[in-house]
Structure 1
Amino acid sequence: MMSPLKVLLSIISLFAVLGIIALIYPNDGIHVGDKTLRYPKLTEIFEKQSEADSLSDSTAAADPEEAIREMMEATKRQQFAAFSDSLKFYEDFFEKGRTRFDLPNNDPTWFDRFFLHLELAALESTVVHIVHYGDSQLEEDRISATIREDLQDEFGGAGPGMMPAIMTVPSQTTSHASSGALSRYILFGPKDEEADHSRYGPLAQFAKLNGDATITIQRRKERKGQFPHVGAYKTIRLLTNKSGRLKVRLNVNQTVVDTVGQNDDGTPKEKHSTKVVDAGEPTVDTYNKLKVYTWKLKDTTSIAKMYLSGNAEIYAIAADGAYGVAVDNVAMRGSSGTIFHRIDTELLAESYKAMNARLVIMEYGGNLVPSTSSSNIEWTKKLITRQIQAVQKANPDADILFIGPADMARQKDGQWQTYAALNMTIKALREVALDNGAAYWDMHRVMGGNGAMIKWVNKEPALGFTDHIHFTRRGAAYMGDLFCSALRMHYDYFKFRDRHNISDEKLKDIHKWSTEEQIEKEKNALPERTFLNVKRRTKKAKGGAKK
């Protein structure tokens, strides 16, 4: 048997002989008859090997498509990494923020359709209405006024939106007066104030005209710059029944400039004064049950006076800007919002269409809490489900947002305590909203949960009244600000995706990539932790052995 040394020497000898042959072998080979015997040179052998190595190492360079794919993949990873960090900021709020919205299917893009309508309003010279229904928390235009001002500042718009012909509770933003042959019918009050039909219109109330009447709306004087957008009316509308016999005239205040001489420099001296002028003939749009009179004013006004004569049902008067957003404050004292299924669906649908209502806010629940118990909670859920579905049927093109009750307290054993049924009611309302494709905003959670109203009442200045149920004006404005901040997060998220062309499909890819990256990081971190644990265990074992 040959030793390893002898085997090695044999291999070296063989290579040496082959090398010598390669060196002395003729370049053009050895000719035998018509055949030529060739032997490769050493340079050829090493060059081929080098080429093979080079080819193996640069497959991507030899394939341009592969190189482009790798470059695009690297760029995509870089973009995804940058997008993922920004998206995480928003999505952390959507998941954990105290003022967050609860959204159907946890879809943070739920508001996209609404935001698109708001952005298109200026381009298309249209007014988008947000109809804000609620109970007595909304009286005096509370909460709604703050939301309106914020959105009109962002998207344009003016005016207080829709108002009833007869207002029994004053508004903090708009002075409203009516006189003459008007009778009021409401769906959310005592039985003797209801009509003998269901034609209540978009405000769940109407005024019956039987003769002559006047309705005047006017911006209230601003308090320290509050609500600057609410008074610049550019569009006035009147919603009535189609079959009504009505004559209507509109007067508005208009600023007139007269020349009253010359200034010292020779320029005309002008005097500005306000005069009452006739707004002219309105355009009339007729639906199956609804008739809408519209005045497009040449200049903005803060006072409008309407003269009515005849027999008709007056569903609403609306004062808006030329374009932008309008927020209608529809407060229903004592209501739980269980009246929508009783409004004539066709009339309600035509009203929403005429006013271009794209978001319907239903802020209810506080009046349900005192009577709610485990024995009737399922009945409550069915009742609220019916209301949401009634609005959806009348306006399938609008999004619906349900705002649940705030924290509420009552005295028990001499102490103020949150109502026992409040959390049960909130849970039921949230489930109903989400199950029916509506979003939900939890005022109770936003305030801080159980006991929060007690703290709001005790704040200086107070944010809640001493009844421990209603907000003060300051508290309502603060709640409106919190709502707008939460909505602003969704709008910023909408704009971020728009700026970077992040489609729904791309968003899914980013989330998938982010998940895979996280898994990879955890996987790579595992050996290091295992190694450290082994080292610790080894040291411990050695220490034990020494003892």
Structure 2
Amino acid sequence: MPTVGPPSSTNEADKLALRKLAIAVSVVTLFGLLTYVLPGVDRFQPWVSGDEPLFVNLWRITTTDFTRVTAAPSIAAPMTQTVSSDGVREQIANELGEAIAVNLDDMDTSDDPDPQPTNDIFPHQDDGGTRRVIEESVADTQQPETAQNPGVESFHQVAQATKPESPKPTSHIDPSELDGVGERIELPKSGAFDSFYADLRATMLQKQGRITRIAHYGDSTIAMDDITSTVRRRLQTRFGDAGHGFMLGAKSYQPYGHRDIVHKESQGWNINPIINGGLKDGRYGYGGVHVRSSGGDWSSFGTTDKGNIGTAVSSFEVFYLAHPRGGNFTVQVDDGEKETISTTADGLEDRWFRINVSDGPHEIKVRAAGGGSFRWYGIALERDVPGVVYDSLGIVGARAARLLNADKDHLAGQLQHRDLSLLVLQFGGNEAVDRKMSMKWYRENLTQVLQHVRSGIPGVPCLFLAPLDQGERDERGRVRTIPIVPKMVEVQREVALEQGCGYWNTFKAMGGEGSMARWYNSKPRLAWGDFAHATPAGYKVIGNMFYKALLADFDDYLKRTK
């Protein structure tokens, strides 16, 4: 039988360790309790109202089994994906709201997560002699033919690819298209957007030549085509793809890029962004960036062969400045002949050089050809079909006040030339850095900005979008909304409505105060750790919600006017 020895010394050691542990726990608990009693140490309190229960994260079970189920495409809405399992969708709905969960599901399968240029090579084949007409205009007026500015017809080779299918004409919005609409647009008065919606209805009915153009100015939330690419794709899938719209002549050192277009450029362009100021003439162009070169630099723009949007173009329009020391630039479409255009003029003149091509896939190269300084703003790609054009005009670091750097008459001419149906402005993220900014000053400045921008297009409806929630860590390490943000949002809303603009509360649509922290902690993550920007998935959610807000208001218009 086994023998029983004396008690092991290990038992005594275990008891001693437990006593030490109990003492340590008691001391920590005592210090924790004292933070609720002693003044000046409240920031060390282990739990305050609003925090989750202690240690809750140890017991939370998170589902990470994402599934991707592609639905069949339809005319009413783009092809969508389910990006999360039912468990994750339910968790998102519980934590962030049902509207966000629905719009997280509503993803576009044609999305390319990288808006940077690709190295696509266009397959150029003979089109049997398609005719291309070169046109140039000054302040929307056709100019006579000259030796330096010829009106010519030429033959060239064009790429062959499948054109986007036009949607079938419809006269109503199906209720299913408004699923997850969430935050609605607030209008200054009933009917304030009627002219925009009348244009959109004509486009929806596929009336010949009815293009609805929208300009969206903003900061880093759209500089890489975030938010705007989702809105553009959904509008163009629903109402027709009338072309990609405007792109800057060159980005140079700026973080900038668009989806559904192929853009490449040389590295020598000099740029003057409107956010920096400094141009005495105030001519920053339609997109807010003045680009120049004395020769050799080039930029190319072309259709994409990926997805269903942006695969065709039927016109390129170069936005440039003619001036006394103007040089030359050349344009070349596909493998066709180069055309040389002079930018010399007696004074400063904003001009546009338009090239019409057969509707389909094409690429254009614009090159500074010497003889002086070539100064330009960018290029617009469009199609001669009923549809929507959505110009994304974002610059990293932009603030609304920087628009005042533009000469008023010059900006008015640029906006008038685009023949807009709706003007959208979205600022506030960079202003939130100014923690002590006076709201009185902000109100006066924002009023001045809206009056400055709209002076040349008073009849075009205007829509102001709130910034995303902006977060920072407090002294306890918790992420909280920067205190000035809700104040800015309310001032924006009041000024927008006072100036006759609509207002869409992005901040509220995200969930209001603390939403950036919740978006950061969500699965999948919808915000980055800088607590100022959304992830690609988060930007798609915002884009989907904004699109549906426009669609819901349009649906109200259709019901009211039919």
- TM-score above 0.5: yes
How far 1:169 moved relative to its partner? Answer: 2.3
The structure 2 residue matched to 1:327, chosen from 390, 395, 406, is: 390
Secondary structure of 2:352 counterpart: strand
What aligned pairs does 1:195-344 form with structure 2 within 5 A after superposition? 195-219=279-303, 222=306, 225=307, 228-243=308-323, 245-253=326-334, 276-278=335-337, 289-310=349-370, 311-323=373-385, 324-344=387-407
What aligned pairs does 1:42-441 form with structure 2 within 5 A after superposition? 98-105=182-189, 107=190, 109-120=191-202, 123-125=207-209, 127-167=211-251, 168-173=254-259, 174-179=261-266, 182-189=269-276, 194-219=278-303, 222=306, 225=307, 228-243=308-323, 245-253=326-334, 276-278=335-337, 289-310=349-370, 311-323=373-385, 324-373=387-436, 376-412=438-474, 413-441=476-504
CA separation in 1, counterparts of 2:338 and 2:374? 21
Q: Deviations over 1:332-356 (max 9, x none)?
A: 2122211222211222122112221
CA separation in 2, counterparts of 1:208 and 1:128? 31
How far 1:455 moved relative to its partner? Answer: 1.7
Q: Deviations over 1:26-50 (max 9, x none)?
A: xxxxxxxxxxxxxxxxxxxxxxxxx
CA separation in 2, counterparts of 1:392 and 1:372? 28
Aligned-residue Cα RMSD (Å) equals 3.0
Secondary structure of 1:306 counterpart: strand
How far 1:382 moved relative to its partner? Answer: 0.6
Share of identical aligned residues, percent? 24
Secondary structure of 1:166 counterpart: coil
8 Å CA contact 2:187, 2:502 repeated in 1: yes
Q: 1:277 to 1:491 in 2, by over 3 A?
A: same
CA separation in 2, counterparts of 1:154 and 1:246? 43
Q: 1:172 to 1:211 in 2, by over 3 A?
A: closer
Q: State the 4+ residue runs in structure 1 displaced beyond 6 angstroms.
A: 279-282
CA separation in 2, counterparts of 1:111 and 1:247? 42
Secondary structure of 2:496 counterpart: helix
CA separation in 2, counterparts of 1:421 and 1:453? 15
CA separation in 2, counterparts of 1:309 and 1:322? 30
8 Å CA contact 1:127, 1:320 repeated in 2: no
Q: Which has the larger radius of gyration?
A: 1
CA separation in 1, counterparts of 2:511 and 2:330? 50
Q: 1:289 to 1:372 in 2, by over 3 A?
A: farther
CA separation in 1, counterparts of 2:412 and 2:311? 28
The structure 2 residue matched to 1:455, chosen from 497, 515, 518, is: 518
Aligned length: 375
Q: 1:339 to 1:496 in 2, by over 3 A?
A: same
CA separation in 1, counterparts of 2:453 and 2:468? 23
Give ranges in structure 1 of 5+ residues lacking alignment: 1-88, 254-275, 500-547
Q: What is the TM-score of this pair, normalised by structure 1? A: 0.63
The residue that corresponds to 2:115 in the other structure is none
Q: What is the TM-score of this pair, normalised by structure 2? A: 0.62
8 Å CA contact 1:139, 1:331 repeated in 2: yes
CA separation in 2, counterparts of 1:390 and 1:430? 18
CA separation in 2, counterparts of 1:289 and 1:119? 36
8 Å CA contact 1:156, 1:325 repeated in 2: yes
Amino acid at match of 1:175: V
Q: Deviations over 1:58-103 (max 9, x none)?
A: xxxxxxxxxxxxxxxxxxxxxxxxxxxxxxx99xx9xxx8411121
Larger helix proportion, structure 1 or 2? 1
How far 1:113 moved relative to its partner? Answer: 0.7
CA separation in 2, counterparts of 1:152 and 1:205? 26
Secondary structure of 2:215 counterpart: strand
Q: Deviations over 1:292-315 (max 9, x none)?
A: 111111132243222332433201
Secondary structure of 2:396 counterpart: coil
